[in-house]
């Protein structure tokens, strides 16, 4: 049986429930402190200088926060800093701004989903997935989502706000702690949680830069995958970034008629325009692009659709991740049977398209994007 641990909501956050949009906006502004995780190494050095200290102290704090043997959760742990400085930092720059309110663990223990409450009373999800050879964290970048894919629970309530870089970093470092407690190092990161990363581009790139900082967490860019539903101008911008992250495109259909119904952003940037941006990305970076394809029974899983997908991706430097649909209560979409999944994959492979079938992790703990958040907010 899956493990469900619900953690009481802190008293200072319980009353954030007003339906008045102006009141909620004031609450969001007043209760969104900047955390230590929001600062780059350079910004940390500048912060310590502002506090009348040496820039070296900033480097010390960064080491405490990100060294995998430390991953400090409080300034009190930073014993080589003066006590007075620790107090100053605690007052002006809290380490944590997310509170874990619910944790679910799959039956076999390989998937851990955490629901966090933000300082302004919103809810976001993070999933830690343990494989034989790697430990991957799936990070959220927005509260809700504006894209509104037809099969995704995240977009049901629209977009509330972007997450800051610090909130994304905190999800990652918390996952690293959890993996470490299970005897595993965190090896990979995918931005495939709640939200559209390329609609939160500046904070997404700052987040990646903070994690990649060699004197900080030192997380390799090639171990980070940014997923997008197809925000064409930002795909083109990403192609020009010096940092070498991986790109995944949530495709789900090979033609405009079908993709328009599944991924509404396709009406703005149709398949041909999207693929042109992908080609630009491949040409400029030399990196393979992954195409994510949620396989839904009777919707996008026919032989004809598989043939069209193979033709679309022919001769492109790419890989297809076929993801049999993870059912969501409020939608009628279903997962194809095993024979249909294998046949679809076989058509792509026969056409020379590298393909992997990736079954969703944690079906029994609502691990699909937005499911746990939707269920939790319906109960509070």
> 125, 167, 170, 196: which one is catalytic?
125
pLDDT of residue 368: 54
Return the sign of the alpha-carbon dihedral for residues 310, 311, 315, 317: negative
pLDDT of 28 > 60? The answer is: no
Sign of the Cα pseudo-torsion (232, 233, 235, 236, in order): positive
Annotated active-site residue 152? The verdict is: no
Spatial CB neighbours of 339, under 8 Å, sequence gap ≥ 6:
none
Give this prediction's pTM: 0.89
The CATH number covering residue 58 comes to 1.10.150.530
* Among 138, 149, 318, 369, the one annotated catalytic: 369
Domain count across the chain: 2
The pLDDT value given to residue 362: 59
pLDDT in tens, 302-345: 999 999 999 999 999 999 999 999 888 889 999 999 999 999 99
CATH number, domain with residue 139: 3.20.20.70
Does 178 share its domain with 122? yes
Residue 315 and residue 233 share a domain: yes
pLDDT tens by residue, 231-240: 999 999 999 9
Q: Are residues 109 and 80 part of one domain?
A: no
Contact 158, 370 (CB under 8 A): no
| Mean pLDDT across 178-199 | 98
Same domain, 215 and 66: no
Q: Is residue 69 one of the residues assigned to a domain?
A: yes
Band of residue 363 on the pLDDT scale cut at 50, 70, 90: low
Domain region containing 45: 40-92
Same domain, 106 and 157: yes
For residue 44, is pLDDT > 90? Answer: yes
- 141 is an active site residue: no
Q: Please check whether residue 17 lies inside any domain of the structure.
A: no
Cβ atoms of residues 197 and 229 within 8 Å: no
Domain check: are 220 and 104 in the same one? yes
Same domain, 85 and 178: no
Listed residue (23, 50, 26) closest to 39, CA to CA = 50
Q: Is residue 309 part of a domain?
A: yes
Domain boundary among 92, 115, 134: 92
């Amino acid at each position: 049986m899956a493990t469900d641990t619900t953690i009481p909501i802190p008293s200072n956050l319980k009353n954030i429930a007003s339906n008045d949009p102006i009141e909620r906006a004031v609450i969001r502004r007043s209760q969104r402190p900047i955390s230590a995780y929001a600062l780059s190494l350079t910004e940390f050095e500048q912060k310590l200088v502002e506090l009348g200290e040496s820039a070296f102290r900033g480097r010390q704090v960064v080491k405490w926060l990100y060294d995998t043997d430390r991953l400090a959760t409080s300034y009190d742990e930073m014993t080589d800093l003066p006590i007075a400085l620790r107090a100053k930092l605690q007052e002006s720059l809290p380490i944590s701004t997310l509170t874990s309110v619910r944790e679910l663990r799959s039956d076999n223990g390989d998937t851990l989903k955490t629901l966090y409450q933000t300082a302004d009373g919103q809810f976001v999800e993070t999933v830690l997935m343990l494989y034989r050879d790697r430990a991957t964290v799936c990070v959220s970048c927005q509260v809700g989502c504006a894209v509104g894919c037809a099969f995704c629970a995240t977009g049901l309530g629209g977009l509330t706000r972007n997450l800051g870089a610090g909130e994304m970093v905190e999800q990652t470092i918390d996952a690293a702690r959890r993996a470490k407690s299970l005897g595993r190092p965190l090896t990979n990161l995918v931005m495939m949680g709640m939200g559209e990363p390329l609609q939160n581009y500046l904070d997404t790139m700052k987040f990646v830069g903070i994690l990649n900082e060699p004197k900080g967490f030192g997380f390799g860019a090639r171990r980070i995958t940014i997923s997008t539903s197809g925000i064409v101008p930002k795909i083109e911008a990403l192609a020009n970034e010096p940092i070498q992250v991986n790109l995944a495109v949530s495709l789900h259909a090979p033609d405009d008629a079908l993709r328009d119904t599944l991924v509404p952003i396709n009406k703005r940037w149709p398949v041909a325009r999207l693929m042109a941006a992908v080609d630009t990305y491949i040409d400029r970076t030399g990196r393979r692009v992954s195409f994510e394809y949620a396989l839904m029974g009777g919707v996008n899983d026919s032989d004809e659709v598989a043939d069209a997908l193979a033709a679309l991706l022919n001769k492109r430097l790419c890989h297809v991740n076929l993801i049999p649909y993870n059912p969501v209560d409020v939608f009628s979409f279903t997962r194809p049977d095993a024979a249909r999944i294998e046949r679809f994959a076989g058509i792509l492979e026969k056409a020379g398209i590298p393909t992997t079938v990736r079954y969703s992790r944690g079906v029994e703990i609502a691990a699909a994007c937005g499911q746990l958040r939707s269920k939790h907010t319906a109960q509070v």
